[in-house]
Amino acid sequence: MDPMLLEDRGYAIFDSLEPQYLLKVRDQVFCLMKEIFSLPDTPSDIGLNQFHQKISDRSPAEVNTMRVELIRRLNVEGDIDQCIFNAFKPVIVSLLGPDILVQRNVNLVIQVPGDPNPSELHRDAPANSHYEIVVWVPLVDCYATKAMYIVDRANTELALSRLDGNPSDWLGFEHFAKSLAKTPSVAFGQALIFHTGCLHGSEVNEETETRVSLNLRFKNIFTPSGLKNQLQFFRPIIVSEIAILGAAMEARDLKR
């Protein structure tokens, strides 16, 4: 898909040209899930889709504690961020250039059927930079209420303008924004890439399978950082030769 579609709409779905990296990520995630949640040894795709069936006897609090531990270990032991970058490198570089930072900690979302706590309508910028993209990577095929919804660039502006005119009417704003949203189907092997300023969220998963997805933010090194400290929340993932040379020369000149 042409990256220009993201500029027009604020979001687009892209196929990975290196799907082996996503297979690696899926296996890494499910391997840790099997250990932490004591799941049976099944193929990753089946195990993720049927996750809710294997933890039905556990309390929400217990499941959440295990999920937090899963995220911690993924970020300590895995190379999820590098794999996602490699899987979608051409489009990420075409959007951001050759000097890119990646969010230090990848976020994992598990939404079982009937989960009463979906992600509410929101946008990431501000407080994140307006010069970032979100790469949303499903580890299972996502469709209908198993997917997420997103409001395109023009309709996000329309909805926010309505809220500006009546800032106390959040429910009216939410209803109006959701009426403008789309819920694209995103298969395993694809990513939904969108601008941080686009409104998005999810509904209660009414399908018969669990949604398991990752999200990660990328930005150019030389663009504004928003309200989040760039050094604290991001790390370099690819840096051009001229940026390395320039940084070395600048550091030398500062010492003079």
Using one digit for the tens of pLDDT, what is the confidence trace for 104-163? 999 999 999 999 999 999 999 988 899 999 999 999 999 999 999 999 999 999 999 999
How far is the C-alpha of 141 from the C-alpha of 45, rounded, in Å? 9
Block residue for tokens 């009216």: 172
User: Who contacts 79 (Cβ-Cβ below 8 Å, separation ≥6)?
Assistant: none
Chain centroid to Cα 29, Å, comes to 15
Residues with Cβ within 8 Å of residue 104, at least 6 apart in sequence: 75, 81, 232, 233, 234, 235
CA 153, CA 155: separation in Å to the nearest integer? 6
The pTM of the full predicted model, rounded to 2 decimals, is 0.93
Query: Which domains does the chain show, CATH number per domain?
Result: 4-254 (2.60.120.620)
Cα-based angle 107, 225, 158 (whole degrees, multiple of 5): 80
Pure H helices in the chain: 4-9, 20-37, 44-49, 51-54, 60-77, 80-87, 89-96, 153-165, 170-179, 230-233, 241-254
Q: What is the pLDDT of residues 12-58, one digit of tens each?
A: 999 999 999 999 999 999 999 999 999 999 999 999 999 999 999 99
Decide if pLDDT at 231 tops 70: yes
Question: What was the pLDDT predicted at 192?
Answer: 97
Under the banding of pLDDT at 50, 70 and 90, the label for residue 100 is very high
For residue 216, the one-letter residue type is: L
Instruction: Determine contact, residues 6/96, Cβ cutoff 8 Å.
Output: no
Please check whether residue 183 is in contact with residue 148, taking contact to mean a CB–CB distance below 8 angstroms.
Answer: yes
C-alpha count within 13 angstroms, C-beta hemisphere, residue 42 = 12
Whole-number pLDDT of residue 181: 98
Q: Do 224 and 131 touch, CB atoms closer than 8 A?
A: yes
pLDDT of residue 185: 97
Contact residues for 94 (Cβ-Cβ < 8 A; gap 6+): 3
Q: 150 with 6: CB under 8 angstroms?
A: no
Q: Say which residue the tokens 């504690």 belong to.
A: 65
CA distance 71 to 112: 17
Give the Å distances, CA to CA, from 74 to 25, 109, 150. Answer: 10, 13, 27
